Amino acid sequence: MPDGRPRRLGRYVVDERLGKGGMAETFRVRLDGPRGFVQRFAAKRVLPEHAGDARLGRMLADEARITARLRHPGIVQVFELVDDGGELFLVMELVDGVDLATLLGAAARERLPMPLGAACQIALALLGALAYAHALTDDDGAPLGIVHRDVSPSNVMIARTGDVKLLDFGVARAAESLRSERTRTGARELKGKLGYFSPEQATGAALDGRSDQFAVGIVLWECLSGRRLFRAGDDLQTLRLIEEARAPAPSTLRADVGAELDAFVARLLARDPAARFADCGAAADALGPIARRLGAGPGALVDFVADTRALEPPDRRDPTASTEEQHPSASPRRRAWPLALAAVATLAVATALLWPRPPARPVAPPPQPAPAPAPEVTAPAAIRLHVDGTPDAELLLDGVRLGTIPYDAPLPRATTPRLLVARRPGFRPERRTITPDHDLTLDLRLRPAPAAAPDPDDVPDPFR
């Protein structure tokens, strides 16, 4: 502290302030005990200038009540709500690691794609934590109906051990109450991180656990591609993109992504909730075998974090690299903290969800103010599809027969993903999700089917 004396929050000694937002601030704190005992936590409190706001106090208490029920290794734990002379603050688990937004930014800076196994490990952990939360009941056995509503990279912590932890169930739940309250009073409805909304969330429809599934799909897509999925020039355009829910297959951006993983991501990102998995547990069951084949596990994340140098002090990183340009969800403030803590991400979400955002800062215009002609105006009406692989295998696009391999023919240009299937008697069908917005060259080599394989003319949903 500036005067040299330790600052305290109740019985906790403040080591440092980690961040400050529009309505709350977070600290790294410690609890000192006898004979050198020390335990460290993160603490969040409403800013002193807002301490008299009863609404914010109720929201903080609501967060504490909800998150106190969540006891799962994949969820950052809240230990207590402290009333220190009328000042409320939360005491939370302190995670020694890095948030996913910072990790993605570091990976972009080092030009390192995330290993498929590491990406799948993150998705598996999130689905497991969400399955637990969605199924949670009260003391009488009645479902609590918890939906996270803000699964996003800044709310996902990667510990040094490779464990994955999800933040801020309580903040999202409290934000729903505030949105309802402001809607009744005619005030502008608050928004979270729009780029991770589900289509039903974007339209204000009722939400259940399948909305969180969609958000996990976005996070997994971004881990695989290293870029943002739903991001436009303003909030309205971003919401429109989400409502349309058009996502290129990851394999169109990264060659080592296979058809199984493509199909899994596509199902998480289905526009209609009924087309997604029944629940997050079912989604985790479907991803498990794929993840194991791709080398998923905590070790994959430990190695990747080390490769990206995300936990190194800032002065040991390349000061000329622009993380923000590579993956905008990693903010300069996060990059400044090598030890990404649960409290930092909690503060970021609390500020975004629970306090009106200031007007966006003006962005300097590009050197060439006149935009290039839109692709849909100048591009030809068709692309060229060339397919090599197993000879005489039949090709079907969205169930309609195209021809046989080898295949080379024009295809109508489209920006929506389509399912291409290659099949031949005696072989396993091969599926590939494609987006025909540019010329495509594919190699589809079918594997022989076992003797007891089902009819190869039947192309079932691999996740049903």
* pLDDT tens-digit map of 449-458: 875 433 333 3
**362 within 8 A of 181, measured Cβ to Cβ:** no
Q: What is the CATH number of the domain that holds 48?
A: 3.30.200.20
Q: Is residue 461 assigned to a domain?
A: no
Query: In total, how many domains does the chain have?
Result: 3
CA–CA separation, 149 vs 209, rounded Å? 9
Does the structure show a pLDDT above 90 at 67? no
The last residue of a domain, from among 92, 109, 142: 92
Question: Domain check: are 80 and 223 in the same one?
Answer: no
Does the structure show a pLDDT above 70 at 320? no
Which pLDDT belongs to residue 282? 95
Question: Domain check: are 416 and 346 in the same one?
Answer: no
Question: Domain check: are 297 and 408 in the same one?
Answer: no
Which pLDDT belongs to residue 22? 65
Question: Domain check: are 162 and 83 in the same one?
Answer: no
Which pLDDT belongs to residue 314? 53
Q: How confident is the model at residue 34 (pLDDT cuts 50, 70, 90)?
A: confident
Q: Is residue 359 assigned to a domain?
A: no
Q: What is the CATH number of the domain that holds 285?
A: 1.10.510.10
Question: Domain check: are 83 and 105 in the same one?
Answer: no
Q: How confident is the model at residue 5 (pLDDT cuts 50, 70, 90)?
A: low
- Picking from 350, 434, 343, 342, the residue whose alpha carbon sits closest to that of residue 396 is 434
Give me Rg for the CA atoms of the chain.
Answer: 24
With vertex at residue 126, the alpha carbon angle to CA 149 and CA 199, rounded to the nearest 5 degrees, is: 35
Does the structure show a pLDDT above 90 at 267? yes
Q: How confident is the model at residue 418 (pLDDT cuts 50, 70, 90)?
A: confident
Domain extent at residue 82: 7-92
CA–CA separation, 452 vs 145, rounded Å? 43
Question: Domain check: are 103 and 69 in the same one?
Answer: no
Does the structure show a pLDDT above 60 at 303? yes
Question: Domain check: are 267 and 283 in the same one?
Answer: yes
Does the structure show a pLDDT above 80 at 316? no
Does the structure show a pLDDT above 80 at 368? no
Q: How confident is the model at residue 313 (pLDDT cuts 50, 70, 90)?
A: low
Q: Is residue 239 assigned to a domain?
A: yes
Q: Considering 62, 99, 150, 279, which one is annotated as catalytic? A: 150
Q: How confident is the model at residue 326 (pLDDT cuts 50, 70, 90)?
A: very low
Question: Domain check: are 401 and 268 in the same one?
Answer: no
Q: Is residue 1 assigned to a domain?
A: no
Q: Is residue 114 assigned to a domain?
A: yes
Q: Is residue 223 assigned to a domain?
A: yes
Percentage, residues of the chain above pLDDT 70: 75
Q: Is residue 372 assigned to a domain?
A: no
CA–CA separation, 190 vs 206, rounded Å? 16
The last residue of a domain, from among 46, 64, 92: 92
For CA atoms 232, 105, 353, 164, give the dihedral sign.
Answer: positive
The 10 Å Cβ neighbour count of residue 265 is 26
Question: Domain check: are 87 and 101 in the same one?
Answer: no
Sheet holding 440-444, edge to edge: 407-412, 382-389, 440-444
Question: Domain check: are 117 and 47 in the same one?
Answer: no
Q: How confident is the model at residue 52 (pLDDT cuts 50, 70, 90)?
A: confident
The per-residue pLDDT for range 171-198, each reduced to its tens digit, is 444 444 444 444 333 333 434 578 999 9
Most confident of 256-270, 313-327, 358-372, 396-410: 256-270
Question: Domain check: are 217 and 84 in the same one?
Answer: no
Does the structure show a pLDDT above 90 at 50? no
Which conformational region is residue 348 in: left (phi greater than 0), alpha (psi within -120 to 50 degrees), or beta?
Answer: alpha
Question: Domain check: are 385 and 347 in the same one?
Answer: no
Q: What is the CATH number of the domain that holds 406?
A: 2.60.40.1120
CA–CA separation, 271 vs 218, rounded Å? 12
> Which of 60-69, 195-204, 454-463 has the weakest average pLDDT?
454-463
> Which of 23-32, 103-112, 280-289, 345-354 has the weakest average pLDDT?
345-354
What is the distance of C-alpha 364 from the center of its chain?
29
Instruction: State whether residue 34 is helix, strand or coil.
Output: helix
| Residues linked to residue 389 through DSSP beta bridges, in sequence order | 444
Distances 104 to 119, 286, 345 between C-alpha atoms, Å = 11, 25, 15
CA–CA separation, 159 vs 139, rounded Å? 31
Q: Is residue 337 assigned to a domain?
A: yes
DSSP one-letter string for 186-231: TPPPP---GGG--HHHHTT----HHHHHHHHHHHHHHHHHSS-SS-
CA–CA separation, 407 vs 395, rounded Å? 8
Determine whether 150 is an active site residue: yes
Instruction: State whether residue 261 is helix, strand or coil.
Output: helix
- Picking from 21, 44, 24, 41, the residue whose alpha carbon sits closest to that of residue 32 is 41
The last residue of a domain, from among 39, 57, 92: 92
What is the distance of C-alpha 178 from the center of its chain?
23
Q: What is the mean pLDDT of the chain?
A: 77
